Chain A
Amino acid sequence: MAHKKIFLDYKRCIGCKACEVACEMTHGEARIKVFEFPDLFTVPFNCRHCEKAPCLNVCPTGALFRDEDGAVAFDPLKCIGCLMCAVACPFGVPKLDEENKIMDKCDLCADRRAEGLLPACVSACPTEALKYGEIDEILWEREGKVVANLKSAAEKGEGEPALLL
């Protein structure tokens, strides 16, 4: 079964950082970060909860585990702060909580999911640049849109350019 994840549609992002603030208000520290580039291009970036998560593979204590929704979640009591996950993660996601000397990372808002709510960053995102769903669902929606746009362009007549999202 495909797991639900947060998908990033950077094209819709306007860099307002609502996701960062929402995450910070929920977890005390923002686990998602919006990167800004000089050409007004902005990318919100969070843990990908990889299908073959290197962080999970290298964790010597089993502090990192995959929960029932497929998120790479985290048990702080088992963490020894060895930083192996931080080294293994190709995106530099797990961060050291300096005070407690243990790691901190996105758990897809486990508490909110338990209540049937969306992760905080997704709930807030005013542009819907962040989407929570299954990969197939998201891709089908995209494909559907491309097809609909091509169809409407064809209906409007020749020479009318199609809108590729």
Chain B
Amino acid sequence: MAEKLVPVVCPWCSVGCRFYAVSVNGYIRRIEFDYDHPTIANRGKLCPKGVASYQFINSPKRLKKPLKRVGEKGEGKFEEISWEEAYRIIAEKIKEIKETYGPEAIAFLGSEKITLEENYLVHKLSKAIGTNHLDFPGRYCQYSNSPARTKVFGSAAATNPFEDVAKAELIVIWGHNPAETAPVLFGQYIEKAILDNGAEMIVIDPRSTRGHKYASLHLKPYPGTDLAVALALLNVVITEELYDKEFVQERTAGFEKLKESVKDYTPEWAEKISGVPAEDIRKAARMIANKRTAFLVNEGVNQHVNGFNLALAIADLIAITGNIGKEGVWSGVFPGAQCGFCAAMSGIAPNKLPTGGLVTDEAARAELERLWGFKIPDWVGLDLTNMVREIGKKIRMMYIIGGNIAKSMPNSGWVREQLKKLDFLVVQDIFLTETAKYADIVLPAAAWFEKTGTAISAERRVQRTYKAAEAPGEAKPDWLIIVELAKELGLGEYFKYSHPDEILREINSVIPLFKGATPEYLAEHPEGCFLPCSEPGEGTKILFKKGFKTPDGKAQLQPVEWMEPPEMPDEEYPLWLTNFRLVGHWHTNTMSEESPSLKKRWPEEYVMIHPKDARELGIKTGDLVKVETRRGSILVRAEVTEHVREGVIAMPWHWQANFLTLDEIHPMTKMAELKAVAARVKKVEE
């Protein structure tokens, strides 16, 4: 029994940690920490999810054979079928729906959990079938911050590598809880900045998070009112003339309009809306303007209908204080999953092409048609929320890969009802998720350690991960399933791949950003390369040193206005409900629930209630309570704690919290309201 050390990228968050899977005869025996490559992001360290990361692949609940539904939709009753039959049924159904309703009745979902190569193939297959209804569940992840940053800087990507976080003088953690969502980033970079290099930290969050003990200032806005704080920060920086005048003069455009738009948003005005003392906002603004600042923002900023405005305001703030394009600053999007960028960079969106162009751009389309050899549809497809809204109308069939929308989407009860209306649903996953229960055909996929592929971390680092275990039963890697299905559909000539390396080579030639990220280079360099990677070995660590990716090379400052959250507490539902993440769970916990070491330590959901609210409601820690919103109610245990601000209740979102949230979306970004809804809590007698 020879032990083999297989280098892998961690399958959970997007810090991009590496370690070795110790593989014996196709099974992972244990893991070993990678201290051999000091330049990797995690420097050998891992969080609890990383250490326990191979447990879920050994779960007895793994899907092992293709399944065909026999019971009612949602019931979860299936019979096993062969791969040939599964492909035949899917291909026939695709052809039938194409003939009856046209290709625009079919929608595809890529995933932030599968590799770059696989997302690229999903994209290629959807276009080959003739539909642009293409999205991925990351729609609810970064789609506020990403378009906002693109508007201001021309590109959303993280500006600096993590090592610059450790060099910052001030760290602003806004709606982000890296101590739990990315402990390695927190320990290796943020803590080093604070404890070793004397940096300060500002936390903006209605909860006291784990990292909060290091903060010199903690602003606690009500959920959904962070925008008021951001506007007031801009107001103070501009009225007190704290902004970087030289930078604003030389590298930004639109300052006067921005100044005009925020002139009425004083800290006193923001205090009335957000409950954050005006003096604290002033203090924060002065700190941000005078120090080299790293901005770490995440879902607390993103997952609001007004999150786009908030992200714009933050991007403006970063630009006018000059905290971009140099060492010792950091800002950017921070995907929740290891491959959020894999989906985004391969153009998984209703309006994009993998090359970076838009589907409506004729020249870009023609270029891709030349590369791929088939016609590309020219219309803009539907985003995820609208796809689900259109089920039973425009959308007749969905093909979902590695997504669990029946649990992760806002107002998930409604999503489940919608899924029942589909003519045909294919789900490709590693477990029988809540979503898979509504499928007509379920395809068993290989899990993360069971295939070779490319991952892209939050700091734009492209890394290769390798196969360390055999997939159980007849499960196959997602790329192979797509290739074989394409053959069944008669598209074989466009999908001639027998190894992920071949797909990556095609990506090298199709997506310009990846030109230098060849399989050979990545195999030799486990630490990967930073995008854009134009030639092997020529990555880009710091972006925007000279110009921005906007037409005139200047940051386009955007005027921003106050926008109310779509639902506010009232007499009937007097509390704000928000949600958060736990260090031991990940997304809809399909994988972390199957990891015994994690499940044992983080066993169930609960609701955090402030002692004052709890007293009024007669609730004590451990009581069973009913949390109710206009969408429904769930029963959970209460935790009375001062770590959440008065008037706000908070729940971890991994279990059922999204049953309660709101599917109202932003008109442009289509981001829903997942973090701030009106709720009430009642004690339930046991």
A interface residues with partner B (beta carbon < 8 Å): 11-12, 14-18, 20-22, 24-26, 38, 40-41, 117-118, 123-129, 145, 149, 163, 165
Contact = CB atoms under 8 A, between A and B. Distances in A.
B44 A123 contact: yes
B30 A14 contact: no
Given A41-B213, A124-B45, 7 more contacts: A16-B210, A18-B51, A24-B597, A25-B31, A124-B33, A127-B187, A127-B188
A14 B48 CA distance: 12
Contacts of B598: 21
* Interface size class, chain B: 35 or more
B52 interface: yes
Q: Across the A-B interface, give the 10 residue pairs with the lowest CB-CB distance, nearest first.
A: A127-B187, A126-B187, A21-B48, A16-B183, A123-B33, A14-B179, A126-B184, A126-B45, A126-B183, A18-B48
Interface in B206-256: 208, 210-213
A21 B51 CA distance: 7
Given A12-B191, A12-B195, A41-B213, A21 B180 contact: no
B47 A18 contact: yes
Given A14-B183, A16-B183, A163-B198, A124 B51 contact: yes
B280 to A, nearest CB: 20
Interface string B16-52: 0000000000000011110100000010111110111
Contacts of A40: 208, 210, 212-213, 643
A128 B30 contact: no
17 contacts: A11-B195, A12-B195, A14-B211, A16-B183, A16-B210, A17-B48, A22-B46, A22-B51, A40-B212, A118-B33, A123-B35, A124-B45, A126-B42, A126-B45, A126-B184, A126-B187, A149-B198
A21 to B, nearest CB: 4
A123 B583 CA distance: 18
Given A21-B598, A38-B641, A128 B208 contact: no
A16 B195 contact: no
Interface string B37-76: 0000010111110111000000000000000000000000
A127 B183 contact: yes
Nearest to B32: A117
Of A15, A129, A165, most B-chain CB atoms within 10 Å: A15
B521 interface: no
The B contact surface, by secondary structure, is: helix
Contacts of B50: 18, 124
A118 to B, nearest CB: 8
Contact of B186 (A22, A118, A127): A127
B545 interface: no
B47 A25 contact: no
A47 B643 CA distance: 31
Contacts of A15: 210, 583
A14 B45 contact: no
B47 A126 contact: yes
Contacts of B370: none
B8 to A, nearest CB: 15
Contacts of B184: 126
Nearest to A40: B213
A14 B211 CA distance: 7
B546 interface: no
B191 A127 contact: yes
Interface string B186-202: 11100100011010000
A16 B179 contact: yes
Contacts of B212: 40
A143 B416 CA distance: 60
B584 interface: yes
Nearest to B45: A126
A109 to B, nearest CB: 12
Given A25-B597, A127-B186, A16 B583 contact: yes
Contacts of B643: 40
Contacts of B52: 21, 25
A163 B200 CA distance: 12
Contacts of B46: 18, 22, 124, 126
A14 B597 contact: no
A134 to B, nearest CB: 19
Nearest to A165: B195
Contacts of A14: 179-180, 183, 186-187, 191, 210-211
B48 A20 contact: yes
Contacts of A41: 213
Given A25-B30, A126-B186, A127-B186, A16 B48 contact: yes
A29 to B, nearest CB: 11
Most B C-beta atoms less than 10 A away, residue of A12, A124, A128:
A124
B608 to A, nearest CB: 12
Contacts of A11: 195
Contacts of B208: 40
A16 B179 CA distance: 8
A152 to B, nearest CB: 8
Contact of A17 (B42, B211, B584, B641): B584
Contacts of A22: 46, 48, 51
Find the residue from B195, B208, B211, B583 having the highest chain A CB count within 10 A: B195
A117 B161 CA distance: 29
Nearest to A25: B51
Among A11, A117, A118, A123, the most chain B Cβ lie within 10 Å of the Cβ of: A123
A138 to B, nearest CB: 15
A13 to B, nearest CB: 9
Contacts of B213: 40-41
A100 to B, nearest CB: 20
A41 B211 CA distance: 10
A44 B184 CA distance: 17
B180 A16 contact: yes
A140 to B, nearest CB: 16
A125 B45 contact: yes
Nearest to A149: B198
Contacts of B42: 126
A149 B212 CA distance: 23
Given A18-B51, A25-B597, A126-B45, A12 B31 contact: no
A104 B523 CA distance: 42
Contacts of A163: 198
Contacts of B33: 117-118, 123-124
